[in-house]
Structure 1
Amino acid sequence: MTRPSHVRPRAARTVSTSAVASADRPTAPKLQSHGRVFNFSAGPACLPAAVLEQAQADLLNWQGSGMSVMEMSHRGKEFIAITDKAEADLRSLLSIPDNYKVLFLQGGASTQFAAIPLNLAEEGDKADYVVTGAWSKKAIGEGKRFLLANAAATGDNKSIPDPSTWNLTEGAKYVHYCANETIGGVEFKAPPSVGDAPLVVDMSSNFCARPVDVSKYGVIYAGAQKNIGPAGVTIVIVREDLLGRARASTPAMLDWSVAAKDGSMYNTPPCWSIYMCGLVFAHVLANGGLEAVEANNEKKAKLVYDAVEASNGFYASPVAREARSLTNVPFTIPSSPDLEKAFIAEAAQAGMVQLKGHRSVGGMRASIYNFMPLEGVQTLADFMREFAARHA
């Protein structure tokens, strides 16, 4: 692809390893339309170019209203139409049953770590948490502030404990788990069976990445910024019989019943973020739905994992094969941390950015959410092979 004339090539970086010959480094980044790089960020993540173009076209004057979405009254007919369509399209995508409410909230998924016990349990009640990584660890840590939070199972950040070994609590008000650990790259492939307790799941990093049977859950919650939109809105899908249980001391902004009663408009919602999510939902529906998204995500993940497996040990995946995430793929170069630094620097020169692993685990991490194009992942896989051939 020819680089647009206004995009300057990045200056070569100096990498502190004698194993890298400067003459072998890529010099010209491979860019997409609009001079866009391949962004492997763990979030906020890349969005479809078509959606960004639509938002750009509507920015000053949404559909002849004379206003930007960012200027509308959240109670006006224009914005109500936007939210109604966004919810209808999300319900269609996930086949959400009628007895579930869809809430567009603020504060990120981390705010729900507190909202969940406040809405579902009283002080002194018990709840179970399955801890498989950094985010579920944070969830149970917050839960312990509000109730008796039991670690029913604790993983090693590389695998999922066998459900037959879980120490579930009789009478637990709910069982919480994280469907995909963004940092460690550990993913549940199906919802666990936990008996009669409502199943509560943090789907922030694999929300709308595949079809889901919503009826198996009491609560699904997710920050938007991985797969469905920009940061600013958190989606909560809650079964109606679980509403109305909030403690008397629960702040109104954390009470799901208040949000449900007021159509997510108890206060001014994150209007622009909801609008962008609506554009994404419509885009996915028009392009094959979640079945097509899942098939594409599987192809992308396979490209990276195959490059790791075919490297004869040059690269390694720290995650057990059966728990490997389709959306966050960590990998290392076991023989040399210096080569990892060189890999990240050279990949950036070649137009692939944000590949550095989380500071707590190191290495590299390719976050290949819904709208990372297949071309971008193929470019990464090709680069992995070429880099290994030079340094093995």
Structure 2
Amino acid sequence: MKKHNFNSGPSILPATVIAQAAAALHDFDGIGLSILEIGHRTDWFVAVIEEAKLLVKQLMQLNDDYEVLFLHGGATTQFMQIPMNFLAPGETAAYCDNGIWGNKAIQEAGYFGNVHVAASSKDKNHTYIPKNLSLPEKANYLHITTNNTVEGTQWHEIPPTHLPLVADMSSDIFSRPMDFKQFSFIYAGAQKNMGAAGVTLVVIKKEWAASIQKQVPPIMCYQKHIEAKSLMNTPPVFAIYVALLTLRWIIAEGGLTEMERRSRQKADLLYQTIDSLPIFITSIAKEDRSLMNAVFFMKEEALLQPFLKTCTDNGMIGVKGYRTVGGLRVSMYNALPLESVQVFCQLAQNFAHKHC
């Protein structure tokens, strides 16, 4: 049975990327060694990581004012590492609280300095994106989460700010073109749109990294990682290679403009379907709906398990909502084909007709 992978992360990868990565496990680039065996300081791997950095800059249209890093620890480590570098006791950073991951970032920042909550959607269970931010005149940076994977909301317009802008783009990285130069710092776990779990992308303005005045342990210091070219310690070689293959795939498929066109096509079809079927409900503000993660619920809770079983029986994987939210979640990352959304929508229609 064909599987339709709606997992929120680790999530679907392009079939060609999986095939290429599998081949490299046996013989990387014809050298007679597995990608898992090559040294991270060899010319073979340095070529991999340097090409990956170049492709990131190409897709984001960034110049040499920015540095690209591939780090360990996932986006969760960045919740701590960013304030460790850029926030000191007595200083303030501004954060938007639009869901579980933004809230976790706020908690981590609180260990290092003061946190000013610039906007929060907590009053409505994070079902919308606040448009008016309350920003202090002086703060070290503003942090936002561009797509809220758990709650199903997304910033479709990045808020203007006089502060250095930091963005967690873990779940919508490389899904749409935007002016990436408005950010001083971007980070993303790779396991949704950019590759396999195990590596975290960091894109940082060199000038901002050089401004760090704090004493930071070297392994946590961005400036030290820049100087070491992401090779301060052994990097996750295989995950970076999969990221390179995925970046190549995005470019070959038409780049970020094409990724956005596909995302809108898939999301429009899904949202139109669930809106038309009375067995489903959603409280997400329409203008803030995520193109990556659709979150919705059964109107009758008793139908949830039968619907999930029907999905499983028909090869639909990863449809169950996040544990703190419940309901249903359909993740539609770059590699998910339109066909999978079409099949899900047909299944939802058939189930609705049977139970109405």
Place the TM-score, normalised by the shorter chain, in its bin: over 0.9
Given the alignment, which residue of 125, 129, 136 partners 1:160? Answer: 129
Query: Which of these two proteins has the greater Rg computed from alpha carbons?
Result: 1
Q: Is the 8 A contact 1:104 1:264 kept in 2?
A: yes
Letter in 1 for 2:292: T
Q: Is the 8 A contact 1:284 1:290 kept in 2?
A: yes
Percent identity over paired residues: 37
Q: Is the 8 A contact 1:121 1:246 kept in 2?
A: no
Write the mapping of 1:279-294 to structure 2, written as runs, cut at 5 A: 279-294=245-260
**Residue 380 (str. 1) matches residue 350 (str. 2):** no
Q: Give the aligned partner of residue 187 of structure 1.
A: 154
Letter in 1 for 2:209: L
**Residue 117 (str. 1) matches residue 86 (str. 2):** no
**Residue 177 (str. 1) matches residue 144 (str. 2):** yes
Task: Give SS of 2:267's match.
Answer: helix
Measured after TM superposition, the shift of residue 263 of structure 1 is 0.4
Write the mapping of 1:31-50 to structure 2, written as runs, cut at 5 A: 31=2, 37-50=3-16
Task: Give SS of 1:243's match.
Answer: helix
Letter in 2 for 1:318: S
Shifted more, 197-206 versus 114-123: the winner is 114-123
Matches of 1:353 and 1:162, distance apart in 2: 34
Matches of 1:188 and 1:249, distance apart in 2: 34
Q: Deviations over 1:174-202 (max 9, x none)?
A: 0001001100001000211112x101010
Measured after TM superposition, the shift of residue 244 of structure 1 is 2.7
**Residue 275 (str. 1) matches residue 241 (str. 2):** yes
Q: Where does the alignment leave 5 or more consecutive residues of structure 1 unmatched?
A: 1-28, 32-36
Q: Is the 8 A contact 1:97 1:215 kept in 2?
A: no
**Residue 129 (str. 1) matches residue 95 (str. 2):** yes
Write the mapping of 1:104-253 to structure 2, written as runs, cut at 5 A: 104-155=70-121, 156=124, 157-163=126-132, 166-195=133-162, 197-246=163-212, 248-253=214-219
Given the alignment, which residue of 336, 339, 357 partners 2:321? Answer: 357
Q: Deviations over 1:238-289 (max 9, x none)?
A: 1111113335442222111011001000000010000000000111111111
Q: CA RMSD in A?
A: 1.1
**Residue 318 (str. 1) matches residue 287 (str. 2):** no
Q: Give the aligned partner of residue 13 of structure 1.
A: none
TM-score (norm 2): 0.97
Letter in 2 for 1:160: I
Q: Give the aligned partner of residue 257 of structure 1.
A: 223
**Residue 333 (str. 1) matches residue 298 (str. 2):** yes
Matches of 2:138 and 2:155, distance apart in 1: 24
Runs of 4+ in 1 over 4 A off after TM superposition: none
Q: Is the 8 A contact 2:131 2:159 kept in 1?
A: no
Q: Is the 8 A contact 1:205 1:327 kept in 2?
A: yes
Matches of 1:77 and 1:243, distance apart in 2: 27
Q: Give the aligned partner of residue 14 of structure 1.
A: none
Letter in 2 for 1:324: R
Matches of 2:219 and 2:212, distance apart in 1: 12
Task: Give SS of 1:390's match.
Answer: helix
Letter in 1 for 2:338: L
Measured after TM superposition, the shift of residue 68 of structure 1 is 1.0
Matches of 1:278 and 1:384, distance apart in 2: 36
Shifted more, 100-109 versus 111-120: the winner is 111-120
Matches of 1:369 and 1:221, distance apart in 2: 17
Q: Give the aligned partner of residue 58 of structure 1.
A: 24
Matches of 1:153 and 1:95, distance apart in 2: 29
Write the mapping of 1:6-21 to structure 2, written as runs, cut at 5 A: none
Letter in 2 for 1:184: E
Q: Is the 8 A contact 1:101 1:239 kept in 2?
A: yes
Count of aligned residue pairs for this structure pair: 353
Q: Is the 8 A contact 1:129 1:153 kept in 2?
A: yes
TM-score (norm 1): 0.88
Measured after TM superposition, the shift of residue 228 of structure 1 is 0.8
Q: Is the 8 A contact 1:97 1:214 kept in 2?
A: no
